[in-house]
Amino acid sequence: MKQVDVRKAYVDSVTLMQVSRRVADLDGVAAALVAMATDLNLELAAGMGFDVPATVSGNDMLVALDVASDDVLAAARTEVDAALAAASRPAAGGFGDAPPPPTMRAATRDADPETAVALVSTPGQYAFADALDAVDAGLLTMVFSDNVSVAQEVALKRRAGETGALVMGPDCGTAVVGGVGLGFANVVRPGPVGIVAASGTGAQHLLALLDGAGVGVSHCLGVGGRDLSADVGGLSTLRALDLLDADEATELVVVISKPPAPEVAEKVRAHAASLGTPVVFGLLGPGQPDLTATAAAVVEAAGGTWTAPESWGGAVSSRRGQGVLKGLFVGGTMRDEARLVAASALGLEPASLEMVDFGDDEYTRGRPHPMIDGSLRLDRIAHETDDPTCGVLLLDVVLGLGSDPDPAAALVEPVRRATAAGLPVVVSVIGTRDDPQDLRRTAGALTDAGAAVFLSNAAAARAAADLAGAS
């Protein structure tokens, strides 16, 4: 039975993703969508077979449940209410405390630009206005929202140049500011390295690699995946470099990015050379160092000793039949890096390798990010297990704040089924020793299921390529 409730309430998209996942995990719940009634979410609800009232607006919240019985429906509604109440519970305060500000503009009136950070996660069509209020107040502004146009991104970043703000994003998934993780961040310890990242999961992987080598981080400033494109011109990267150069806690800076526009990369390198703080670059691209090599360079520049990240062998040591290497990723940068590394090892063009990023916009329209809900990828793993053209399967698992609290739990049985069918599974696990999911327990569960597990994404890609290239 399918039931749709419409509520007059607003809750941010990240929280609603987590509520949807929590309710969908209940026994007897076939599907759950708890989301704001945006056009994308209405389209998704219709595709799931829900009959949504025609009178809903984008300011309404949908609670759409596909359940086995009335009892399950009641339990699911109770779980929705409990999850939403827990997410919206205000911090404890004294008698007579003022209510929280209802808008970003109200919140920024008394904000101190030296200490306040604004995080915008409203739907993309509204995010620009909210972010502009924070930028006008001169705040460090993280725009988690995606579906913000390039023109709006450029306008925000140019305005930030006038007010002294920094725009992190749009579509900035990861940041660490003064030890506080924002978005999908890993738990790291303080240290001398500042990071500027035009890459979300790339930032997470670098955080994890540095933590594994015992090197701490002062700040990780995400700038959005498009910042080093020709259209945006590195506006936030240049500003972030200046901020870290002026930061007393930062002794070394590293800039990482998905493949940048060459002319923008050259401009950023020239600016970095003018700073008093040394800067290391890790810009992905053909012939460029991978993230693990970049981490090694950073550790050595910081005076540490680099050792290769750990790995554990898998149950299947040869390619299945004449099948080819395929990759299924939740991290876009993990996919891009793996494709570059594996293609180089196999002597192929990167585009010839079938590797999917389930975090891409086409897969997240109205759905939780795969780091929260990996159900689409699980379906694809089952498909590749049954497809004899898949000879080696490469996956990533990304831990940290905001991610699935136990990603290995859902992967164990599909991995075990794949390896039992003779399909070697290679997994890179991205996480730190202090992440809530427990890095070693996650790696151990996947290894026990038969996967070869690596704490370096590049090493995982090379191992998968070795298996795929073996005769």
User: For residue range 393-411, what is the model confidence (pLDDT) as tens digits?
Assistant: 999 999 999 899 999 999 9
CA angle 215, 440, 189 (to 5 degrees): 25
* Domains 2-88 and 311-469 equal at CATH topology level: no
* Confidence at residue 44, expressed as pLDDT on a 0 to 100 scale: 83
* Confidence at residue 160, expressed as pLDDT on a 0 to 100 scale: 97
DSSP 230-254: TTTTTHHHHHHHHHHHT-TT-SEEE
* Residue 286 phi, psi dihedral angles, 5° rounding: -55, 130
Tokens at residue 314, please?
A: 């898998």
CA angle 369, 177, 105 (to 5 degrees): 80
The architecture in CATH of the region 104-301 reads 3-Layer(aba) Sandwich (3.40)
The residues, ordered by sequence, that sit 6+ positions from 455 with a Cβ below 8 Å of its Cβ are: 208, 209, 212, 309, 310, 311, 428, 429, 430, 439, 443
Q: Report the C-alpha gap between 29 and 27 in whole angstroms.
A: 6
* Confidence at residue 112, expressed as pLDDT on a 0 to 100 scale: 85
Q: Report the C-alpha gap between 224 and 222 in whole angstroms.
A: 6
Q: Report the C-alpha gap between 156 and 141 in whole angstroms.
A: 10
Find the mean pLDDT for residues 404-421. Answer: 96
Tokens at residue 331, please?
A: 């991290």
Tokens at residue 420, please?
A: 């039992």
**What letter does residue 203 receive in the DSSP assignment?**
H
* Confidence at residue 93, expressed as pLDDT on a 0 to 100 scale: 55
* Confidence at residue 429, expressed as pLDDT on a 0 to 100 scale: 98
Residue 91 has pLDDT above 60, yes or no: no
CATH number of 2-88: 3.30.70
Share of the chain above pLDDT 90, in %: 77
Residue 67 has pLDDT above 90, yes or no: yes
User: For residue range 375-384, what is the model confidence (pLDDT) as tens digits?
Assistant: 899 999 999 9
Residue 468 has pLDDT above 90, yes or no: yes
Q: Report the C-alpha gap between 139 and 115 in whole angstroms.
A: 8
User: For residue range 110-164, what is the model confidence (pLDDT) as tens digits?
Assistant: 888 888 899 998 878 889 999 999 999 999 999 998 889 999 999 999 999 999 9
Q: Report the C-alpha gap between 366 and 69 in whole angstroms.
A: 26
Residue 210 has pLDDT above 80, yes or no: yes
Q: Tell me if 333 sits within 8 A of 202, measured CB to CB.
A: yes
Residue-range domain boundaries for the chain: 2-88, 104-301, 311-469
* Confidence at residue 229, expressed as pLDDT on a 0 to 100 scale: 97
Q: Report the C-alpha gap between 460 and 462 in whole angstroms.
A: 5
Indicate the SS3 state at residue 66.
strand
User: For residue range 257-316, what is the model confidence (pLDDT) as tens digits?
Assistant: 999 999 999 999 999 999 999 999 999 999 999 999 999 999 999 999 999 999 999 999
User: For residue range 217-259, what is the model confidence (pLDDT) as tens digits?
Assistant: 999 999 999 999 999 999 999 999 999 999 999 999 999 999 9
* CATH superfamily name and code, 311-469: Succinyl-CoA synthetase domains (3.40.50.261)
- What global pTM score does this model have? 0.86
